[in-house]
């Protein structure tokens, strides 16, 4: 329940902060205090930590089913305007962190310690990018609004098993495709 409130508050705060169009030609990595560009690719060591955690945790998944695809295959951040991409990625990271933190609390050993540390670091850098965007931006609409709503409703509508499976199966897409797209700014086409 707390996770749902966090997502609702993030989405509401982001919605209230945007009122007029923002030029999309400016790369996200040039906003003051925003240095997400360094995450265009993670180190092999970091990716290996994620791979080990994902493999170990996928084997422990039992009887899960989802009423819908939380992360549909046709979802692509390139379909969003440049200013919308970090907002969508932040919502995705928030859900991913909450689910993985819950899994870490239940798991034996520290298999998720390094991945969680990396995701928290990425999230803190991404927050700087989202919070330093011009405050007079458009309200989330269309695809962005739909994606944010879907992520905020996920914890209410889906079982914990579905959330865990969805996050694990989406993990490398988040790290390799979505993060790289946001880090590339205007160059992600």
Whether 15 has a pLDDT exceeding 90, the answer reads no
Q: Taking the model in full, what pTM does it have? A: 0.77
Res. 93 pLDDT band, cuts 50 70 90: very high
Q: What is the CATH number of domain 47-62+75-132+143-187?
A: 1.20.1250.60
pLDDT digits (tens, 9 = 90+) for 136-165: 455 667 889 988 998 888 888 888 889 999
Q: What percent of the chain has pLDDT over 90?
A: 33
Give the per-residue SS3 of the chain. Answer: CHHHHHHHHHHHHHHHCCCCCCCCCCCHHHCCCCCHHHHCCCCHHHHHHHHHHHHHHHHHCCCCCCCCCCCCCCCCHHHCCCCHHHHHHHHHHHHHHHHHHHHHHHCCCCCCHHHHHHHHHHHHHHHHHHHCCCCCCCCCCHHHHHHHHHHHHHHHHCCHHHHHHHHHHHHHHHHHHHHHHHHHHHHCC
């Amino acid at each position: 329940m707390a996770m749902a409130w966090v997502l609702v508050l993030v989405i509401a705060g982001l919605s209230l902060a945007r009122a007029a169009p923002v030029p999309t030609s400016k790369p996200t990595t040039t906003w003051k205090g925003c240095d997400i560009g360094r995450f265009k690719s993670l180190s092999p060591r970091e990716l290996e930590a994620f791979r080990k955690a994902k493999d170990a945790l996928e084997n422990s998944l039992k009887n899960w089913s989802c009423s819908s695809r939380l992360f549909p295959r046709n979802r692509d951040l390139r379909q969003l305007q440049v200013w919308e991409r970090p907002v969508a990625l932040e919502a995705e990271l928030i859900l991913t962190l909450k689910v993985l933190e819950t899994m870490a609390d239940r798991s034996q050993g520290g298999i998720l310690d390094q991945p969680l540390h990396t995701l928290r670091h990425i999230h803190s850098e991404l927050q700087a990018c989202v919070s330093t965007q011009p405050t007079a931006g458009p309200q989330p609409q269309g695809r962005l609004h739909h994606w944010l709503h879907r992520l905020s409703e996920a914890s209410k509508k889906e079982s914990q098993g579905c959330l865990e499976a969805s996050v694990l199966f989406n993990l490398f897409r988040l790290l390799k495709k979505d993060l790289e797209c946001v880090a590339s700014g205007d160059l992600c086409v």
